[in-house]
Amino acid sequence: MKKICVTGAYGFIGKSMCKVLIDSNKNVLGLVRTLDPSFNLTNVEYKSVGNISSKIDYKNLLLGSDCVIHCAGKVPEMHKKDELDIYLEINTKSTKYLAEQAVQAGVSRLIFLSSVSVFGNDTDRVEYDIIEKNYNNKKFSYKDIPKPKNSYAKSKFEAEKLLWEISARTGLEVVVVRIPLVYGQGVKGNLLRLMKLINYNIPLPLGSVKNKRSLIGIDNLVNVLNRCIDHPNAAGKTFLVSDGEDLSTPQLLNYIASAKGRTIRHFPFPTGLLKFASIILQKKDEMNKLIGSFQIDNEYACKTLNWKPPVSVQEGIRRMVQDK
């Protein structure tokens, strides 16, 4: 029976990852910052490692593990300073240190959760659709060259490059999985705020928003990560994963409202004015996430791994809403 180590095992993704590994009859080691029995899952061995840094002694903890799924890391936080050195310490240097000690401990494969934000902040490219005879946002694919713009994205891309260097030098099998916005049971951040907003039944000025964003439900994400553990075609690859159904912000809100047994009203309002207002209010990044497009092509991951997202978007959203 394989032993899998999950970093960030108490986190949104890490906890769900541990659950699916247990259901797959794997031995699971969960690394967490501080032990809290109230968060513990049955049949998971938890170890405390303190704050994420490049000074953690991973080697002895990883002895006997076959694969590491690296979920831990620093994610962007609204209204906080974008400090590159902090992101590099937590997301880049500590990842390098983890990989090097994983090699020393005899780990054969490391799966790294990266982000589609390595491509930039939005899909600001267009292409002409000869069938539909119109211009559409061009989806990012695994072949596209990353152009990270913020500190978080830069730290993730730098970590990717270091992992490929370690892999070439040591033979460690590396799998990089770049993920978009993840939703599902236990979600926090912007999605949680949107879910609460719907409860107030306030008409929203999003009727003119025609954006498209790629998402992935937590159950689909942990499903594909589980497949990457021992799939022979996964090693040495970089995958972009999503549900395969891109949504506009109004569509997403409608799905959430429907799952809550509610309806939501959108009234038309010029998107240009929304963008202008966001600049005046210094909320440009938040508005871009709300009305901008960011699409990725998951075809390479689906074909290479013989994978199909098992949970539909509507079902994934229903599970997220019912969990609240």
What's the CA gap between 101 and 134, in Å, rounded?
51
| Structure tokens that stand for 46 in this block | 């938890």
Residue 155 CB partners (closer than 8 Å, separation 6+): 74, 84, 87, 88, 90, 91, 92
| Structure tokens that stand for 52 in this block | 């994420």
User: CA–CA distance from 242 to each of 87, 168, 182, 185 (Å)?
Assistant: 25, 28, 9, 17
Instruction: Give the residue from 58, 53, 119, 126 showing the smallest Cα distance to 91.
Output: 53
Q: Say which of 87, 152, 183, 255 is annotated catalytic.
A: 152
Q: Is 128 a catalytic residue?
A: no
What's the CA gap between 216 and 197, in Å, rounded?
21
Torsion, CA 223, CA 224, CA 228, CA 231, rounded to 10 = 90
Partners of 217 in beta bridges: 183
Q: Would you give per-residue pLDDT tens digits along the chain (324 residues)?
A: 799 999 999 999 999 999 999 999 999 999 999 999 888 899 999 999 988 876 788 999 999 999 999 999 998 876 566 689 999 999 999 999 999 999 999 999 999 999 999 998 765 555 545 554 444 668 999 999 999 999 999 999 999 999 999 999 999 999 999 999 999 998 888 788 888 888 888 888 888 889 999 999 999 999 999 999 999 999 999 999 999 999 999 999 999 999 999 888 888 888 888 887 777 767 777 777 788 899 999 999 999 999 999 999 999 999 999 876
Question: Do strands 126-129 and 134-137 pair parallel, antiparallel, or not at all (unpaired)?
Answer: antiparallel
Predicted local distance difference test score (pLDDT) of residue 1: 77
54 in Cβ contact with 86 (< 8 Å): no
174 in Cβ contact with 112 (< 8 Å): yes
Torsion, CA 110, CA 31, CA 88, CA 172, rounded to 10 = -20
DSSP annotation of 118 reads G
Residue 85 CB partners (closer than 8 Å, separation 6+): none
110 in Cβ contact with 96 (< 8 Å): no
Instruction: Give the residue from 59, 15, 9, 60 showing the smallest Cα distance to 35.
Output: 9
Domains by residue range for the chain, with CATH: 3-322 (3.40.50.720)
Query: Which residue, chain included where needed, has tokens 């009859």?
Result: 25
240 in Cβ contact with 116 (< 8 Å): yes
Predicted local distance difference test score (pLDDT) of residue 188: 84
Write down the pTM of the prediction.
Answer: 0.92
How wide is the angle at C-alpha 319 spanned by C-alphas 152 and 177, nearest 5°?
A: 35
Residue 156 CB partners (closer than 8 Å, separation 6+): 73, 91, 92, 114, 115, 117, 118, 148
What's the CA gap between 240 and 274, in Å, rounded?
30
Query: Which residue, chain included where needed, has tokens 């079902």?
Result: 315
Q: What b/e sequence results for 95-122 when a residue is b if at least 16 CB atoms lie within 10 Å of its CB, and e otherwise? A: bbbbbbbbbebebbbbbbbbbbbbbbbb
